Chain A
Amino acid sequence: MATTATPQSIEETVIESLVTFGADADAINRDATLEAIDIDSLDLVELTQVVEETYGIDLEGSDFKKIKTVGDVVDLVVAKVG
C-alpha cells in the first residue's frame, strides 16, 4: 500500500502505464477498447505488475476475462483496491 489511491489517481496510473506500453496517448479514453489502442494480453500482465506494486493488490488472469475497454480496466483496479 505504497500510495493512497483515489479513483482518479488509479485512472492516471493505468493510463500512464498504457502509454508506456506504446498506446497512443491521444487515443486513450474510458470508452477506447484495448484492441483499438493495441494493448494485448502481455501488456495486461505488465499492467498487473504495476498496480500490484503500486497498490498492493493481487490481480489474476481471470479478472481480465470480461475486460474490453480502458474504463473496464480502471474500474477493475478501483474495485480491487476497494
Chain B
Amino acid sequence: MRDVVITGVGAVTPLGGARGLHERWAAGETAFRDGEAPCADFDVTDFMTPKQARRADRATQLAVAAGDEALADAGWADGLPYDPELIGCVLGTGIGGISTIEGNQDSLRDKGPGSVSPLAIPLMMGNAGSAAISLRHDLRGPVFSVVSACAAGSHAIGTALRMIQHGEATAVVTGGAEAPLTPLSRACFARMNALSPTGVSRPFDARRDGFVMGEGAGVLVLEDGDAARARGARILGTLRGYGASGDAHHITAPHAEGRGGARAMTVAINDAGLTPADIDYVNAHGTSTQLNDRAETRALKLALGERAAQIPVSSTKSAIGHLLGAAGAVEAIATVLALRDRIAPPTIGWAQADEDMDLDYVPTTRPLETTDGTPPIAISNSFGFGGHNATLCLQAA
C-alpha cells in the first residue's frame, strides 16, 4: 500500500494559523470571548478580491485562507507539482454556509422571493469550500465535500487518504471548515443544552458543562510518499491509518460504552498496521460535554486496553473550543505539529477528575516520550451527531 505523507498545513483558528495555534495551545493560551471562540483577527481582504469575497460564505473564506497557507507550506506557491488532474480536494463541513441561509431567509420573509440572492445557492452549498479551493488552484482531480457533523474534517482527511492509496490522486488538498457563529446556530445548539453556560471549555474535567462554539478551517496537503520524496518535499508526518464507524445508537448521544468510538480507533490502528502499544498520544474529540467526554474515555479504554492509561490524552478544544466540521482537520494539524516537536499539548484547565474518568488528561504541556525511539505516533478522534465516528492515525516524520 502506498504511504501518504503530510507536506503542508494551514489553518484559520481562534488562536491564529497552523503554527500560531500549535505554539499558543502548547503555551496554555485560550481564545474564548463571551462564551465563543471567533477568528477575530481574520480579514478576508488579505486573501480575496472583493468579488471573490462576495461569492464566498464565511466558511468558504476561512477554507480558502487555510488552503493558501497549506499550499504555500507544501512548497506549492509557485505552481502545482503534479498534473492538476491528479490533485483532488476533499473538505468536510457540518452545515456549510449557514450565515448565507439565514440572510436569504430574512430576505425571503421580509421582501419576498424576488429579493433572494442569485448567489445564495453557490454560497450556502456544503461543497462550496472544496469548489472554491479547486477553482483557485486549478485542482482537477476528485473534488467534493463530506458532511458528517463534527466528524466531517476527519472523514474528509480519511477519504483523501484512500484516494491516494487507491491511485485516484497523487495529492489531495483536504480538511474542513465551519463558520457557525450565527444567531440561528447559536440558538439551535443552545436549545439542545449543548453549549457551555459558563463559556469555558474544560474537557474531561468534572466541572465541564458543555462545549464552546468556535469557527475556523484547517487544510492539509497530502501526497503520495514516493512522489513527495521524488520532488524533495519537506515531510511533516505520515498519515498512517484511518478508521470510521457508526454508533447506530442515537441521533445525538454517543453510545454510553463508547462502542462506535472504540471501533473507529481500532480500525484506524489496524489500518496503520499497528497495535495499541504503538500509540504514544491521543488527540481526543474531548468536547467538554458531559456525555462525550465520559463515553470517549470508555471508548479509549475499550480500544486501547491498558495502554489507554499509560499515554497522554488531551483536547485541542480546551484552547479553541469546538470548530464543528473543521475540528477534525484543525486537530489533525495540531496533532502532527505536536508529534513533530515531541510534545503532548495540554487539556487546558483540567483540574478535577470525574468519577471513572481516570486517564492522563495532561493539565500542562510536557515532552512526549516514545518507547523505542521511533517517531511518535498518535490517534486523533472526531465524533459527530448522527453517531459518526472517525479516527486518524498520524506519525511524525
Contact = CB atoms under 8 A, between A and B. Distances in A.
Is B a genuine binding partner of A?
A: yes
Interface of A: 21-23, 38, 42, 45-46, 49, 52-53
Contacts of B49: 22
B119 interface: yes
A53 B115 CA distance: 9
Tell me whether chain A's interface is mostly helix, strand or loop, or mixed. helix
B183 interface: no
B117 interface: yes
B213 to A, nearest CB: 31
Given A22-B54, A49-B118, A52-B114, 20 more contacts: A21-B51, A21-B54, A22-B49, A22-B50, A22-B51, A22-B52, A23-B51, A38-B51, A42-B55, A42-B118, A42-B119, A42-B122, A45-B118, A46-B117, A46-B118, A46-B119, A49-B114, A49-B115, A49-B117, A53-B115
Point out which of A23, A38, A45, A49 has the most chain B C-beta atoms below 10 A from its C-beta. A49
A52 to B, nearest CB: 7
A80 to B, nearest CB: 16
Q: Which one of B117, B118, B122 has the highest number of Cβ atoms from chain A below 10 Å of its Cβ?
A: B118
Nearest to B107: A49
Interface in B340-394: none
Interface string B160-176: 00000000000000000
Contacts of B54: 21-22
Nearest to A39: B51
Contacts of A23: 51
Interface in B96-115: 114-115
A9 B50 CA distance: 24
A20 to B, nearest CB: 8
Contacts of A22: 49-52, 54
A45 B115 CA distance: 11
Nearest to B50: A22
Contacts of B52: 22
Contacts of B117: 46, 49
Interface in B117-147: 117-119, 122
Contacts of A46: 117-119
6 interchain residue pairs of minimum CB distance:
A22-B51, A45-B118, A22-B50, A42-B118, A46-B118, A22-B54
B109 to A, nearest CB: 16
A22 B55 CA distance: 10
A7 B329 CA distance: 53
Contacts of A52: 114
A46 B49 CA distance: 18
Nearest to B119: A42
B247 to A, nearest CB: 41
Nearest to B116: A49
Contacts of A42: 55, 118-119, 122
Contacts of B50: 22
10 contacts: A21-B51, A22-B49, A22-B50, A38-B51, A42-B119, A42-B122, A45-B118, A46-B118, A49-B114, A49-B118
B111 to A, nearest CB: 8
A38 B54 CA distance: 13
Interface in B43-69: 49-52, 54-55
Contacts of B55: 42
B350 to A, nearest CB: 47
A76 to B, nearest CB: 18
A52 B54 CA distance: 21
A35 to B, nearest CB: 14
A52 B49 CA distance: 27
Nearest to B118: A45
Nearest to B48: A22
B117 to A, nearest CB: 7
Interface in B26-57: 49-52, 54-55
